[in-house]
Chains A and B, each alone.
Chain A
Amino acid sequence: NAGVTQTPKFQVLKTGQSMTLQCAQDMNHEYMSWYRQDPGMGLRLIHYSVGAGITDQGEVPNGYNVSRSTTEDFPLRLLSAAPSQTSVYFCASSLLQGISGNTIYFGEGSWLTVV
């Protein structure tokens, strides 16, 4: 049981390049999400998904695309990288929250630098 696995761990991109951050979970969680973490800003939700074929925008979706073709995978695509997207990206998953709440499991993070 690997939990939430993110790749790559580190990436340097040039402005205008595109790339995909991969995220996979093996806990059969319905809910998956992507956050970015910037100094002094906490974590901000980019996109999330409540199941295969269903995605929705979070707080800061511009410049990012997601898809959820399987329960296990939730890739995050940067369409045309900008320096403002330099950040640490975290993928997370959980069972659907419901009224009782559920623990969210985070990946180890992907450090992205756009030059």
Chain B
Amino acid sequence: SQQGEEDPQALSIQEGENATMNCSYKTSINNLQWYRQNSGRGLVHLILIRSNEREKHSGRLRVTLDTSKKSSSLLITASRAADTASYFCATDALKGGTSYGKLTFGQGTILTVHP
């Protein structure tokens, strides 16, 4: 079963609105990462948040992590049509203090931003 589960599965908003995507996971993690995938392309890394961090910002992106609830959220502020893509969370499970990048991906959220 998937370690990371995103919701909603699909999100449709207007340009200028904020988009929030959530990710839940099951086991203790080393870090959690968010990736973006444009249609027909590979995944592109957006942001990484470590298990001892609670919030991280990068431009219009804001990621939060709540390890007690095993959940994370990705907020895109002032969305643009170019933000239309699928967004995936990926967890790096903690094993003896080290992991080898065996990221486990969720099913993704399809974000559509209408001009």
A positions within 8 Å CB-CB of B: 4, 31, 33, 35, 40-45, 48, 50, 58-59, 90, 92, 94, 96-109
Contact = CB atoms under 8 A, between A and B. Distances in A.
B52 to A, nearest CB: 10
B98 A48 contact: no
A97 B30 contact: yes
Contact of B50 (A92, A101, A103): A101
A29 to B, nearest CB: 9
Interface in B41-88: 41-45, 48, 50, 88
Contacts, number: 75
A97 B98 contact: yes
Interface of B: 2, 4, 30-31, 33, 35, 40-45, 48, 50, 88, 90, 92, 97-108
B41 A108 contact: yes
A98 B92 CA distance: 10
Contact of A106 (B31, B42, B92): B42
B101 A96 contact: yes
Given A44-B105, A101-B33, 13 more contacts: A4-B42, A33-B102, A43-B90, A45-B103, A58-B102, A96-B98, A96-B100, A97-B92, A97-B100, A99-B97, A101-B92, A109-B41, A109-B42
